[in-house]
Amino acid sequence: MQVLRWGGSVGAGCLLLLAFWSCRETPPSSFDSNLPPETVISGAPAESANAYYRVHIKWYGSDPDGSIDHFEYAITDTNKAPGEDTPGFSGFRSTTRSDSVFVFTANLPQILGHRFYVRAVDNQGKADPTPAMAFFRAEDFNTPRIVFHQGIGTWYDRAGHLRTAQIRSTNRYNPTDTIGVGGSVTVSWSGFDIDPGDSVIGYQYRLSTETLYNGGTLADTVASVSFARPAGASLASNFSGGAAFFVLGIDVAKAKTDPEAVRSFVVNFDPVTWVVDPDQTDPPVHKRVFKDTDRTQTTWPSGTWLADGGGSGRDVAIKYTAFDDPRDMSLDPNNPSGVLGYRFRVLNQGNGVAYQSIPGNPRPYPQVNDFRSDIFGTLGTGDYLLLVQATDELGRNGKPDTIKVNVNYYPYFVTVHYVDELGSEQELWVPALPSAPQDTVTVTMHTQGGAYPELLVRILARDDHHPPPGKDPLDFNPVVEDELGFVVDYSARLNNSREGFVDQPTDSTGAIPLERSFVVDPEGGSGFLAAGLNRLEILTRDGSGRVTTLVVLFSLILE
Ligand SMILES: [Ca+2]
Ligand SMILES: [Ca+2]
Ligand SMILES: [Ca+2]
Ligand SMILES: [Ca+2]
């Protein structure tokens, strides 16, 4: 325990007094013979220490020529003098006690500093001119915790039925609960504080669209909001979007719940977009399919791989419709579906421009609309996602319905051979689908005149595809229609050769294999054959840019 005395300024005060006297022509005629009392703080938090905000402070006083009548104490913030902020009041309060438990403010997360002053007053009413002082910081360990009792949303749906939903979302920015447009939300709560001797003394709350908190008393345990359109108002006055209630508890130290307790929700359900069966549209049936409109007029499920259309690409079409979520109120009797428009987006391998409006005023459910790929261009080789989404009466975009279309089958390897020492072709790769484990071939080479011959390797890939039953067993593509493509490039690299891939163009028939000769270097190294396991990485590319790779591992015995 350390006690600070106000007395640091005693000497300076006396000097000032002497200087004052010296300026007067005559000294004061009367002299007060009563000596002032002294004050000591005998129990307080250590100087500048952090203390729990309920602080027990003890003090005593002594008077050299009389007795102590009572004490006066004052409490100030960090660096204030008693009475500094209270004109007309010294800041000191009278007490006959010599100890007390004081409750200081401690607004977390900031820890606040406080000064406690006490001065003895003697039997002649003279106060200690140098009050004892203690400085420390008051700390509140825990802010109040909020317990939500009820969160309920109510609204009327499109059919005029009352609906309710529990509001439990706690994420301010990503609510998981939704109420219909025009609905209302009520939440209620209580709270507690786990600090010793502490308790909640009030609550504050606000809606996320408000800037100031309401309430402040222990009775403030309920909040409500209505999103109903005022009678006679225009459509635009309906609220659509995310909202939340924020709730704070306040404890004895005046600390508030941090972070604030949250109940969040969305007002306005998303509209529902359907890609529909193009062959059954009255009434529309949700079916994620698309139609090939340039070759066979076949309707395929989303995710189907189509053959390469060469330079002219492929044309596909979908039919779609949408309606607002039936749980929402209908705002316009002339538009019972609640849908105002549509947007689309096309991604190829994850890349594509942002959503664009679909022109031509597409119609809502139960009518259906055509979406043809020529609205953005035909489908060249690629992995496409076609996304369509509706916009409801309040401008809310629903989850898009998505169709996946892949165009152009990958080329596939047919053979990887080497020429053995007798001049005949042998398998270097035991043909297998990419998913199958590979059999490792062993090649034996002998020195000829003190050196090893080069190893000649022939690689053949194809890009002609036929649906079952004509499908090549090595064609790993999900083939549904004929593609008569061709291979335009091969590359090969041995044992991570530093020169990387070496291209070998072939003619347009695709029937010419890549021939590469590899040199033995008994020391090994990238680009050279060596005894043991060798790694040959090969690549083939079709005329539209699809690339297939294959890794061939084989063992080499040098004799
Ligand atoms: Ca005295
Ligand atoms: Ca507390
Ligand atoms: Ca809606
Ligand atoms: Ca192809």
- What residue has token string 């203390």? 51
CB atoms within 5 A of ion ligand 1 belong to 34-35, 63, 65-66, 122
User: How many A from CA of 544 to the centre of ligand 4?
Assistant: 7
Name the nearest CA neighbour of 418 among 515, 559, 524. Answer: 515
User: How many A from CA of 327 to the centre of ligand 3?
Assistant: 8
Among the bound ligands, name the one nearest to the CA of residue 475: 4
Q: What is the pLDDT of residue 505?
A: 62
Q: What is the pLDDT of residue 7?
A: 34
Contact of 98 with 59, CB cutoff 8 Å: yes
User: How many A from CA of 124 to the centre of ligand 1?
Assistant: 6
User: How many A from CA of 54 to the centre of ligand 2?
Assistant: 10
Q: How far apart are CA 461 and CA 212, in angstroms?
A: 71
Class of the domain covering 4-26+33-139: mainly beta
Contact of 308 with 485, CB cutoff 8 Å: yes
Q: Spell out the SS3 assignment of 502-548.
A: EECCCCCCCCCCEEEEECECCCCCCCCECCEEEEEEEEEEECCCCEE
Class of the domain covering 145-267: mainly beta
Q: How far apart are CA 167 and CA 183, in angstroms?
A: 13
Whether 4-26+33-139 shares its CATH topology with 412-558 is answered: yes
Contact of 225 with 185, CB cutoff 8 Å: yes
Report the CATH number of the 412-558 domain: 2.60.40.10
Contact of 267 with 243, CB cutoff 8 Å: yes
DSSP letters spanning 43-63: E-PPTT-EEESEEEEEEEEE-
User: How many A from CA of 310 to the centre of ligand 4?
Assistant: 9
Q: What is the pLDDT of residue 80?
A: 81
Among the bound ligands, name the one nearest to the CA of residue 54: 2
Q: How far apart are CA 163 and CA 156, in angstroms?
A: 6
Superfamily classification of domain 273-407: Immunoglobulins (2.60.40.10)
Q: What does each C-alpha distance from 474 to 146, 214, 434, 471 come to in angstroms?
A: 64, 72, 9, 8
Among the bound ligands, name the one nearest to the CA of residue 482: 4
Q: Give the residue extent of every domain in the chain.
A: 4-26+33-139, 145-267, 273-407, 412-558
Name the nearest CA neighbour of 522 among 554, 557, 498, 494. Answer: 557
Among the bound ligands, name the one nearest to the CA of residue 257: 2
Among the bound ligands, name the one nearest to the CA of residue 106: 2
User: How many A from CA of 311 to the centre of ligand 4?
Assistant: 12
* Burial tier of 469 (Cβ tally within 10 Å: 0-12, 13-18, 19+): exposed
Q: How far apart are CA 481 and CA 314, in angstroms?
A: 13
* Burial tier of 282 (Cβ tally within 10 Å: 0-12, 13-18, 19+): exposed
* Burial tier of 352 (Cβ tally within 10 Å: 0-12, 13-18, 19+): middle
Contact of 455 with 443, CB cutoff 8 Å: yes
User: How many A from CA of 200 to the centre of ligand 2?
Assistant: 8
Q: What size, in residues, is the chain?
A: 559
Q: What is the pLDDT of residue 479?
A: 98
Among the bound ligands, name the one nearest to the CA of residue 195: 2
pLDDT in tens, the chain (559 residues): 334 333 333 333 333 333 344 434 455 556 789 999 999 999 999 888 888 889 999 999 999 999 999 999 999 887 788 988 888 898 999 999 999 999 888 876 667 789 999 999 999 999 999 999 999 988 888 999 999 998 999 999 999 999 999 999 999 999 999 999 999 999 999 999 999 889 999 999 999 999 999 999 999 999 999 998 777 665 556 889 999 999 999 999 899 999 999 999 999 999 999 999 999 989 999 999 999 999 999 999 999 999 999 888 999 999 999 999 999 988 888 888 999 999 999 999 999 999 999 988 899 999 999 999 988 889 999 999 999 999 999 899 989 999 999 999 999 999 999 999 999 999 999 998 878 888 899 999 999 888 999 999 999 999 999 999 999 999 999 999 999 998 888 888 999 887 666 666 655 555 678 888 999 998 888 889 999 999 999 999 998 999 999 999 999 999 9
Q: What is the pLDDT of residue 367?
A: 95
Q: How far apart are CA 401 and CA 389, in angstroms?
A: 6
User: How many A from CA of 416 to the centre of ligand 4?
Assistant: 20
User: How many A from CA of 123 to the centre of ligand 1?
Assistant: 7
